[in-house]
């Protein structure tokens, strides 16, 4: 046996296993895969069907019609209903719309979102990242989705991209007491992958209601995802950035909206910061017009 073989035959230490698990979690692994494939959605459908067939508590308590010699089976206490992942469908989108529409305040929306189980992203996330900042302010920034740090802290834009955003805000005399910050998607997608079109549709009613309830004078879209989803365009952020248009959270409301580059993009492409600087100056100019 060579030295290398000896090393690979050795059982991993607890620290090595912890490092491996950490690596998997960072890479977006959210479940263990077995040798043969298992359709978890089918399992969940079967459980739901079985639960629907189960006799009601009242029926379960009814004495059995069987012979008197048979021992009665004691009624089972109802098992607590754990929310679980299912295949989202049109009904889930309708449910999202109704849930969001019924929220009459920002706090009610926060609570409604925290208990909404229609989007499977929530099952892999630690937090429902709702918003940060001042809902009374004139400007609302809408990013993409929480990353690792945001998921851990439960607040939007607190990681490296968030620190850059804070610097950019400071450069135009804003901070988190003078603006409001949220995301298109409130749950971290595994491994920071892009949200799917279905996930975007499931979350859209909540961000639309969020904007309605906050009522900002100006909306700034940070990056491709919120820009495309909320402006309803397929054009990319590099061609849309810096040009004002209107965002319509409902058919009666038009809010001046500016798409700009996502701070995470700027971390990867620092040369693009000069474009963002122009966009942020343009935001400052708009805000000054309201206050002046
Ligand atoms: N990127 C986003 O789009 N939102 C965050 O909250 C953090 C990083």
CB-CB contact of 277 with 236 (8 Å): no
Highest averaged pLDDT of the listed ranges 11-20, 24-33, 150-159: 150-159
Q: Using CA atoms, how far apart are residues 166 and 35, in angstroms rounded to an integer? A: 47
Ligand 1 centre distance from Cα of residue 221 (Å): 11
pLDDT in tens, 272-284: 999 999 999 999 9
| CA 107 to centroid of ligand 1, rounded, Å | 21
Q: Give the pLDDT confidence of 154-202 residue by residue, as tens digits.
A: 999 999 999 999 999 999 999 999 999 999 999 999 999 999 999 999 9
pLDDT mean across residues, the chain = 87
Query: Quick one: CA torsion of 62, 65, 69, 71, rounded to 10 degrees?
Result: -30
| Residues 114, 120, 124: CA angle, nearest 5 degrees | 80
CA distance 211 to 226: 13
Q: pLDDT digits over 88-131, tens only? A: 788 999 999 999 999 999 999 999 999 999 999 999 999 999 99
Q: What is the pLDDT of residues 206-227, one digit of tens each?
A: 999 999 999 999 999 999 999 9
Can you give the pTM of this predicted structure? 0.77
* Pair 218, 212: CB distance under 8 Å: no
Give strand pairing partners of 258: 220
227: Cα separation from own chain's centroid: 16
Measure 66 CA to ligand 1 centroid, in angstroms.
Answer: 62
Q: Is the pLDDT of residue 204 over 70?
A: yes
Query: What does the pLDDT read at residue 74?
Result: 52
> What pLDDT shows up at residue 38?
77
Structure tokens at 134: 């001042």
- Whether 150 is in the pocket of ligand 1, judged by its Cβ within 6 Å, is yes
60 and 76 Cβ atoms separated by less than 8 Å: yes
From the CA of 222, give the closest atom in ligand 1: 3
Taking CA atoms, 112 is separated from 19, 118, 191, 270, in Å, by: 36, 12, 26, 38
* Predicted local confidence at residue 126, as pLDDT: 96
Closest CA to 222 of 191, 284, 266, 177: 266
Residue 66: predicted pLDDT: 44
Count the Cβ atoms, other than its own, within 10 Å of residue 222.
Answer: 28
Q: CB–CB of 98/90 below 8 Å?
A: no
Joined tokens for residue 50: 């079985």
Give the pLDDT confidence score for residue 188 in this predicted structure. 98
- Alpha carbon of 159 to ligand 1 centroid (Å): 8
Q: What percent of the chain has pLDDT over 90?
A: 68
Q: Which domains does the chain have, with CATH numbers?
A: 90-291 (3.40.470.10)
Q: What is the C-alpha to C-alpha distance for residues 231 and 20, in angstroms, rounded to an integer?
A: 41
Determine the atom of ligand 1 nearest the C-alpha atom of 143: 3
User: Edge-to-edge, what's the strand order for the sheet holding 131-133?
Assistant: 131-133, 180-183, 139-143, 218-222, 255-260, 245-247
What local confidence, expressed as pLDDT, does residue 54 receive? 63
Q: What percent of the chain has pLDDT over 70?
A: 83
């Amino acid at each position: 046996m060579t030295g290398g073989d000896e090393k690979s035959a050795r059982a991993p230490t607890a620290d090595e296993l912890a490092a491996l698990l950490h690596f998997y979690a960072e890479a977006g692994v959210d479940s263990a895969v077995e040798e043969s494939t298992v359709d978890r959605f089918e399992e969940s459908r079967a459980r739901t069907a079985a639960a629907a067939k189960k006799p009601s508590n009242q029926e379960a308590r009814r004495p059995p019609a069987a012979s008197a010699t048979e021992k009665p089976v004691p009624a089972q206490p109802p098992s607590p209903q754990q929310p679980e992942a299912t295949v989202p469908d049109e009904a889930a989108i309708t449910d999202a719309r109704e849930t969001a529409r019924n929220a009459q305040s920002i706090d009610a929306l926060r609570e409604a979102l925290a208990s909404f189980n229609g989007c499977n992203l929530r099952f892999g996330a630690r937090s429902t990242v709702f918003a940060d900042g001042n809902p009374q302010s004139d400007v609302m920034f809408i990013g993409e989705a929480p990353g690792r740090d945001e998921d851990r802290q439960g607040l939007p834009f607190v990681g490296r991209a968030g620190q850059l955003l804070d610097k950019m805000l400071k450069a135009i005399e804003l901070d988190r007491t003078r603006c409001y910050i949220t995301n298109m998607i409130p749950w971290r997608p595994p491994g920071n992958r892009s949200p799917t079109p279905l996930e975007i549709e499931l979350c859209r009613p909540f961000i639309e209601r969020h904007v309605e309830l906050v009522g900002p004078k100006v909306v700034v879209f940070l990056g491709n995802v919120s820009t495309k989803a909320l402006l309803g365009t397929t054009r990319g952020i590099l061609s849309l950035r810096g040009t004002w248009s209107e965002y319509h959270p409902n058919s009666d409301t038009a809010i001046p909206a500016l798409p700009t580059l996502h701070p995470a993009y700027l971390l990867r492409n620092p040369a693009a910061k000069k474009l963002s600087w122009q966009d942020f100056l343009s935001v400052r100019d708009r805000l000054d017009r309201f206050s002046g």
